[in-house]
């Protein structure tokens, strides 16, 4: 198009001849992810080794980059979000943490009750078989490039809390502007690099899984348990969104539909932390205010593990049942309470939750090494479903927090801003005198 013709286009999208300029249609993230999953499974059935290894190499590089950028992302989003919220950030942290922990306990105790009732009907006691970790069968990359993060996820959260709370105590100035600019840089990296490449990464994941075949052996062996766990995660999400919708005054089913891209992304990444950009974007579309969403979503990616808890509780009961061992309910109650705390350090790494929980499986439930290996195998085989439940539930928590504390925090921030301006004006006047 020539420059003169381009200048003739007005703001309404019509040119000088009255023709309407056709808008560029972009394919949404959810369709691209679904296509990537289906294509990965189909191509994996016939793909040569070199092709699988080529995508494994890309996935290794992309995964390492995610591991590098996620702690920086958490710091860049959470710290300025706390600073924007103001002096009510401590209360917001307590409120968000309490809701997330309650949701995790709800998932764990719900799974315990259902599994105790259903497993005797669908499983045969004593049919335990040793099974290898399915990750061992996946083809490795052609080469690797180490990308060590500047700090860990927990360090990023603690640093974000300390700096964010510190920002609430200072007049708005250069430090606030620096964090705003850091947030802008990270958001551009996310939307310009990470999100566009996610479908390619997910394609590579399912390509390798299908070519290896081991994952599907695990799925076949535990098909009944897997179907039950999937049903439990769906029920958990419905409960979360019905409660959130009732509190926030929104249609829970419309909200769930809005979060489908985040759910689908987590299916491929198997990482709550790596899915933060998509979860945050979809949460904003729900109408949650940006300061609340920027605080709650990265935080919940680390502390809200309701879906993972459902899976670990369900599979641990299944392994014990298949091993012919008795289920000690009081021990499992304590196990669930501890699980919600222990797995806080797990997100950011696919399969990290079961790694963090393996110590509890041995110490509290008395799992042997083969039983722990079987737990790892079954968990990693369908790791993505628990992660998808985790991240989708994060938005429900954000809706609740936004409704309960959002108005009050915004008012406090405005009052605090007026106080800061008065203090700055007083300081300026004193300097002038």
Q: Which of 344, 413, 407, 379 is nearest to 153 (CA)?
A: 344
Q: Which of 142, 79, 91, 42 is nearest to 299 (CA)?
A: 79
pLDDT tens digits along 347-386? 444 555 676 677 678 778 888 766 776 676 667 667 778 8
The greatest distance separating any two alpha carbons of the chain, rounded to the nearest whole angstrom, comes to 86
Tell me the whole-structure pTM to 2 decimals.
0.65
CB 269 within 8 A of CB 387: yes
Q: Which residue has the higher pLDDT, 217 or 13?
A: 217
Q: Give the per-residue pLDDT at 174.
A: 84
Alpha-carbon dihedral sign for residues 319, 325, 326, 332: negative
Q: Which residues have a Cβ under 8 Å from the Cβ of 106 and sit 6 or more positions away? A: 236, 239, 306
pLDDT tens digits along 20-44? 444 455 666 667 777 887 888 888 8
Average pLDDT over residues 265-286: 83
CA distance readout (Å), 159 to 176, 177, 223? 15, 18, 43
Q: How far apart are CA 98 and CA 304, in angstroms?
A: 10
Report the share of the chain in percent with pLDDT over 90. 15
Residue 129 clears pLDDT 60, i.e. is over it: no
Lowest mean pLDDT of 11-15, 27-31, 71-75, 266-270, name the range: 11-15
Residue 95 clears pLDDT 80, i.e. is over it: yes
Q: Give the per-residue pLDDT at 355.
A: 61
Set out the domains of the chain in order of their start, with CATH numbers.
Answer: 29-415 (1.10.3860)
Per-residue pLDDT band for 65 (boundaries 50, 70, 90) equals confident
Residue 291 clears pLDDT 60, i.e. is over it: yes
Q: How far apart are CA 364 and CA 353, in angstroms?
A: 16
CB 229 within 8 A of CB 311: yes
Helices (H), 259-305: 260-269, 276-285, 290-303
242: part of which helix (H) or strand (E)? helix 223-248
């Amino acid at each position: 198009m020539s420059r003169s013709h381009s200048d003739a286009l007005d703001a309404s999208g019509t040119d000088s001849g009255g023709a309407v300029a056709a808008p560029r249609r972009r394919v949404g993230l959810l369709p691209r992810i679904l296509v990537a999953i289906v294509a990965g499974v189909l191509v994996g059935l016939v793909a040569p080794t070199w092709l699988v290894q080529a995508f494994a190499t890309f996935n290794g590089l992309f995964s390492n980059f995610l591991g590098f950028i996620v702690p920086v992302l958490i710091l860049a989003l959470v710290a300025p979000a706390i600073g924007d919220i103001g002096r009510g950030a401590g209360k917001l942290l307590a409120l968000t943490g309490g809701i997330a922990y309650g949701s995790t306990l709800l998932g764990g105790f719900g799974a315990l009750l259902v599994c105790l009732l259903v497993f005797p009907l669908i499983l045969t006691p004593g049919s335990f078989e040793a099974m290898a970790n399915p990750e061992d069968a996946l083809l490795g990359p052609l080469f690797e490039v180490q990308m060590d993060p500047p700090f860990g996820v927990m360090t990023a959260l603690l640093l974000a809390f300390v700096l964010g709370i510190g920002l609430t105590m200072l007049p708005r100035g250069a430090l606030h502007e620096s964090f705003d600019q850091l947030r802008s840089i990270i958001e551009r990296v996310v939307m310009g690099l990470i999100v566009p490449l996610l479908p390619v990464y997910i394609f590579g994941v399912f390509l390798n899984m299908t070519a290896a075949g081991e994952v599907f052996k695990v799925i076949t062996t535990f098909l009944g348990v897997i179907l039950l766990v999937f049903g439990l995660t769906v029920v958990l999400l419905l409960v979360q969104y019905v409660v959130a919708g009732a509190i926030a005054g929104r249609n829970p089913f419309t909200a769930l539909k809005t979060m489908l891209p985040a759910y689908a992304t987590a299916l491929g990444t198997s990482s709550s932390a790596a899915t933060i950009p998509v979860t945050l974007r979809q949460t904003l579309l729900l109408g949650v205010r940006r300061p609340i969403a920027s605080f709650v979503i990265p935080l919940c990616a680390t502390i809200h593990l309701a879906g993972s808890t459902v899976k670990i509780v369900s599979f641990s009961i299944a392994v014990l049942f298949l091993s012919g061992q008795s289920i000690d309910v009081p021990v499992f109650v304590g196990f669930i309470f501890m699980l919600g705390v222990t797995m806080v350090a797990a997100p950011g790494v696919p399969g990290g939750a079961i790694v963090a929980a393996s110590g509890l499986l041995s110490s509290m439930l008395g799992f042997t090494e083969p039983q722990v290996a079987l737990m790892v195998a079954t968990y990693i085989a369908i790791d993505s479903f628990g992660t998808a439940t985790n991240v989708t539930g994060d938005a429900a928590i954000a809706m609740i927090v936004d409704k309960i504390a959002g108005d009050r925090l915004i008012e406090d921030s405005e009052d605090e801003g007026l106080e800061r301006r008065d203090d700055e004006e007083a300081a300026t006047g004193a300097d002038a005198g």
